[in-house]
Amino acid sequence: MPTLTALHPAAALPGGDVTLTGAALGPPLTADVAGVPALVSLARPTQAIIRIPEGVLPGNITVSRGALTSNALPIRIGVAMAENLHPVANPAVDAAGNVYATLSGSRGEATPVSIFRIAPAIEGVIHEVRPFVREILNATGLAFGLDQQLYVSSRAEGTVYCVDAAGDAHVYAEGLGVATGIAFDAKGDLYVGDRSGTIFKIRTANDTQAQETFVFATLEPSISAYHLAFDSKGTLYVTGPTTASSQSVHAIDRDGNATEFFRGLGRAQGMAFDPDDNLYVAASLAGERGIIRITPQKEASLAVSGSNLVGLCLLPGGRAALATRDAIYEIQI
């Protein structure tokens, strides 16, 4: 009789692969995920790889050989919040739990809506998705400032916009190259990744000084985008896919000095930190694709299995909003 002892990882998006370990898992083997038949791509006596079917909800995985069915293991599965989008970096979440995501378009393409707002689901009601911002060309990076306003970069224009609660945008800063990922530090200063090799810092205006933009650090140019995130100590972390097969997460201190925090990721993109300073990165690691968790001790593992991921933001209650190239998924991470 087949027996399951472990599941890796314990969370996945539809289309993601998970590895089961146990006994009597060799062929002929079939699999069931939350009541839906699933593809078995590998079946060996002590290991099987299962692909999560489309359209399934969180539930249990079982495998069968003939009339014999294994014990069940629970799995957390991402559920679509919004589809038919085009995120190219992290989504963002406001204080009310609304998630914001882009319909970015290809370089120079004007889309009918630039940013959508996705309301939290209440008592099982599906997420309400509404247009929020229009007429920002190639909306790219999203982040909320200390003023609770949404800021968005345009990689086509090299501009960062500030968006008010009504969805009206005005220019906040210009001349930022191919502006991609953005992030705020604890003081409210904004950092912008120019994928051609520059991290800009925009010092916010106050009673004694005007707004000021200057080069904070320089890195190797990226083939797609820079992605930025701060840890609790105020260190800025940066990813930017390059042509290298083994890519790095860079750490930049308050003085703009860059060091290598972690190497070994494939096409590392959007990032987020949890309260314990574990870093989550949309990337691949040793052939496994999805969201990689890197501890402060630099121990890396696959936290969520999935393909085509470009970023994430963390939500209350241990949940996350994960962005693929065309959708936003909610998952318990």
pLDDT tens per residue across span 60-69 = 999 999 999 9
Do 186 and 282 lie in a common domain? yes
Do 174 and 62 lie in a common domain? no
pLDDT at 229: 98
pLDDT at 244: 79
Select from 31, 50, 77 the last residue of a domain.
Answer: 77
Select from 49, 77, 105 the last residue of a domain.
Answer: 77
Contact of 15 with 50, CB cutoff 8 Å = no
Do 19 and 122 lie in a common domain? no
Among left, alpha and beta (phi > 0; psi -120 to 50; other), residue 284 is beta
Do 97 and 239 lie in a common domain? yes
Do 15 and 143 lie in a common domain? no
Do 52 and 165 lie in a common domain? no
pLDDT at 293: 98
Number of structural domains the chain divides into: 2
CB within 8 A of 256, min separation 6: which ones?
199, 216, 217
Do 73 and 87 lie in a common domain? no
- CATH (domain of 64): 2.60.40.10
Do 20 and 127 lie in a common domain? no
Three-class DSSP category at 250: strand
CB within 8 A of 140, min separation 6: which ones?
88, 89, 102, 104, 152, 153, 154, 155, 179, 180, 181, 225
Which residues of the chain fall short of a pLDDT of 70? 123-125
pLDDT at 126: 80
Do 90 and 63 lie in a common domain? no
pLDDT at 182: 98
Select from 77, 96, 126 the last residue of a domain.
Answer: 77
Residue whose structure tokens are 């097969």? 245
Do 98 and 64 lie in a common domain? no
Domain with 304 in it: 80-332
